[in-house]
Amino acid sequence: MNRKHFLGLISLTPILYAMKTVNELFSYKEILPNTAKMPVLFLGHGSPMNAIEENEFVAGFRNIAKTIPTPTAILCISAHWYTKGTKVTAMEMPQTIHDFGGFPKELFEVQYPAKGSPELALLTKELILPTEVELNHDWGLDHGAWSVIKHLYPEANIPVIQMSIDYSLTGQAHFEMAKKLESLRNKGILIIGSGNIIHNLRMVDWANFNKDNHGYDWAKEAHADFNKFMLDGDFKSLINYQNHSKAWNLAIPTPDHYLPLLYTLGLKNNSEELQLFNDKFVAGSLSMTSVKIG
């Protein structure tokens, strides 16, 4: 091969790579079967201990899984991957991340060895354009994902990818980004938002942590608003979460655990039912309220 021919091939490398990427994307879309529209979930994940404890909330996760067709794969938006810019995990085998401290050794030993899906990551990236999405190979599955998904699919036999939450975006931008993912629902992809609608760790009532359905007055006020707006389909009020009462400010001191809810709501069609489950308080300042759409 002469030098001129060699340099010519080098100059074509980005084009050839792009063609390969497009072909892989097309192939994956074709391989994925068309399905009935998959439901969408928001899961109030609560304490990491829910991963290994038996309680009414994990029973709620298991029971809701029984109402859902077996997914082709899962796309999870977790409160615990809060980043500058949007990222999607794109590795073949995501690691189980133990992103917490001060818990029993037993919890740190939990592994959730679900496969990843580089193909779904690439498809997700393409759907969200023109928003730039980084294909990430360093993160994995944080506890916002695996601690709840392990109760839905304990055999870890469903591929899982995560999409991060870009902290620089508005609530409206997150809601609109979710809409771009809607076509995945017709390909057997289960989309899960994982967080807590009411999440104020600084005000946790540790003395009454195990008291059933214990919520502060401000938490009850905010909770009533959240549920009413969800059930009435008034998502605009939920998108503009910063423009409400002091009770809302206490319920959402930081938006990381709230924003996954907007991804779930953004995927709802007008004709679809919205169902609440695990709708209880924990320790005064947390809610486990979870949502199923479809």
Q: pLDDT for 142-198, tens place per residue?
A: 999 999 999 999 999 999 999 999 999 999 999 999 999 999 999 999 999 999 999
Q: Say how far apart CA 17 and CA 153 lie, in whole Å.
A: 36
For residues 3 and 68, membership in a common domain is answered with no
Q: Say how far apart CA 81 and CA 90 lie, in whole Å.
A: 14
**In sequence order, which residues have a C-beta less than 8 Å from that of residue 202 and are 6 or more positions away?**
253, 285
For residues 25 and 89, membership in a common domain is answered with no
Q: Would the pLDDT of 132 be above 60?
A: yes
Q: Say how far apart CA 33 and CA 268 lie, in whole Å.
A: 22
For residues 169 and 218, membership in a common domain is answered with yes
User: Residue 40 has what pLDDT?
Assistant: 98
Higher-confidence position of 18 and 106: 106
Q: Would the pLDDT of 14 be above 70?
A: no
Q: Say how far apart CA 181 and CA 75 lie, in whole Å.
A: 10
Structure tokens at 242: 């910063």
User: Residue 32 has what pLDDT?
Assistant: 78
What's the average model confidence in pLDDT over 271-290?
97
What's the average model confidence in pLDDT over 24-28?
56
How many domains is the chain partitioned into structurally?
Answer: 2
For residues 9 and 55, membership in a common domain is answered with no
Helix (DSSP H) and strand (DSSP E) numbers for the chain:
10, 12
- Domain membership of residue 7 as a residue range: 1-31
Lowest mean pLDDT among 12-26, 60-74, 247-261: 12-26
Structure tokens at 133: 């999405």
* CATH code of 222's domain: 3.40.830.10
For residues 18 and 78, membership in a common domain is answered with no
Q: Say how far apart CA 236 and CA 249 lie, in whole Å.
A: 17
Lowest mean pLDDT among 8-12, 109-113, 117-121: 8-12
User: Residue 36 has what pLDDT?
Assistant: 87
Q: Would the pLDDT of 6 be above 90?
A: no
For residues 265 and 151, membership in a common domain is answered with yes
For residues 140 and 25, membership in a common domain is answered with no
For residues 120 and 17, membership in a common domain is answered with no
Q: Would the pLDDT of 15 be above 50?
A: no
For residues 177 and 125, membership in a common domain is answered with yes
For residues 23 and 50, membership in a common domain is answered with no
Greatest alpha-carbon pair distance for the chain in Å reads 79
User: Residue 33 has what pLDDT?
Assistant: 79
Find the angle CA(229)-CA(233)-CA(185) to the nearest 5 degrees: 125
User: Residue 13 has what pLDDT?
Assistant: 40
Residue ranges in the chain assigned as alpha helix (H): 3-31, 56-65, 105-108, 118-128, 143-152, 171-179, 217-232, 235-239, 246-251, 259-266
Q: Would the pLDDT of 287 be above 50?
A: yes
For residues 56 and 202, membership in a common domain is answered with yes
What's the average model confidence in pLDDT over 211-229?
97
What's the average model confidence in pLDDT over 14-43?
68
**Average predicted confidence (pLDDT) for the chain:** 91
Tell me the pairing of strands 86-89 and 286-287: unpaired
Q: Would the pLDDT of 12 be above 90?
A: no
State the DSSP code for 190: E
For residues 165 and 225, membership in a common domain is answered with yes
User: Residue 34 has what pLDDT?
Assistant: 85
pLDDT tens-digit series, residues 224-271: 999 999 999 999 999 999 888 999 999 999 999 999 999 999 999 989
User: Residue 11 has what pLDDT?
Assistant: 43
CA 255 to each of CA 141, 241, 262: distance values in angstroms, whole numbers, following the listed order: 20, 9, 11
Whole-prediction pTM value? 0.89
